[in-house]
Each structure stands twice: as structure tokens, then as C-alpha cells.
């Protein structure tokens, strides 16, 4: 599996794609995120947990659903890896 390396974190391809998607959406419900990305829910949850462990993603339980959002560190990483992402977020 390919990886993207930054001074802050080493990301797998799936982690990088999930970070970018959540950055663009602002926040996502985990099951919907998996469906949007064409990723099995189990795979998506493993990716999300790994991103949370790296301090890049927050996972909140709301009425039984898992909602995800980037931490400040996650946002900074996306902006550094994909500078064009800042223009999308405005």
C-alpha cells in the first residue's frame, strides 16, 4: 500500500483519501463516508480509528451514529499536503 509522509504523520493512501474527503465535507457520518468512498464500512472504521490514534480525526457518537471531523492537527496536515484544499474550504 502506498504511503504519504509528512513531518507530522505517515499516511496510507486510504487515510489520505479519508482526510481529504472529511476536510471537504466538514464532517461526515461514518457509514455515509464509507458509502461515498466506495469503501466497506469495516475498512472505513479501521481507517478512522487509525486517524484518531494519530491525532488527526475526532469521532463523536451521536444517537448511535459515529460522526467524524478533523482535528486542528488534521486540518493543518491537509492544508500542507494539498494547498489547493484551502481554496475549497473558503
The answer to whether residue 66 scores a pLDDT higher than 60 is: yes
C-alpha 26/C-alpha 90 separation (Å) is 11
The answer to whether residue 8 scores a pLDDT higher than 80 is: no
Tens digits of per-residue pLDDT, 9-36?
A: 689 999 999 999 999 988 899 999 999 9
What is 3-89's CATH number? 1.10.10.10
pTM of the model: 0.81
Mean pLDDT of the chain: 86
Burial bucket for residue 55 (CB in 10 Å: 0-12, 13-18, 19+): middle
The answer to whether residue 7 scores a pLDDT higher than 80 is: no
Which grid coordinates are listed for 28?
461526515
Domain positions in the chain are 3-89
Looking at residue 84, what is its pLDDT? 72
| Alpha helix (H) residue ranges in 1-90 | 13-25, 30-37, 41-53, 72-81, 85-89
Amino acid at each position: 500500500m502506498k504511503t504519504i509522509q509528512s513531518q507530522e504523520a505517515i499516511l496510507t493512501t486510504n487515510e489520505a483519501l479519508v482526510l481529504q474527503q472529511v476536510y471537504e465535507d466538514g464532517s461526515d457520518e461514518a457509514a455515509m463516508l464509507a458509502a461515498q468512498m466506495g469503501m466497506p464500512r469495516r475498512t472505513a472504521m479501521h481507517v478512522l480509528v487509525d486517524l484518531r490514534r494519530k491525532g488527526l480525526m475526532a469521532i463523536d457518537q451521536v444517537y448511535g451514529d459515529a460522526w467524524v471531523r478533523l482535528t486542528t492537527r488534521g486540518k493543518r496536515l491537509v492544508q500542507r499536503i494539498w494547498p489547493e484544499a484551502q481554496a475549497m474550504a473558503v
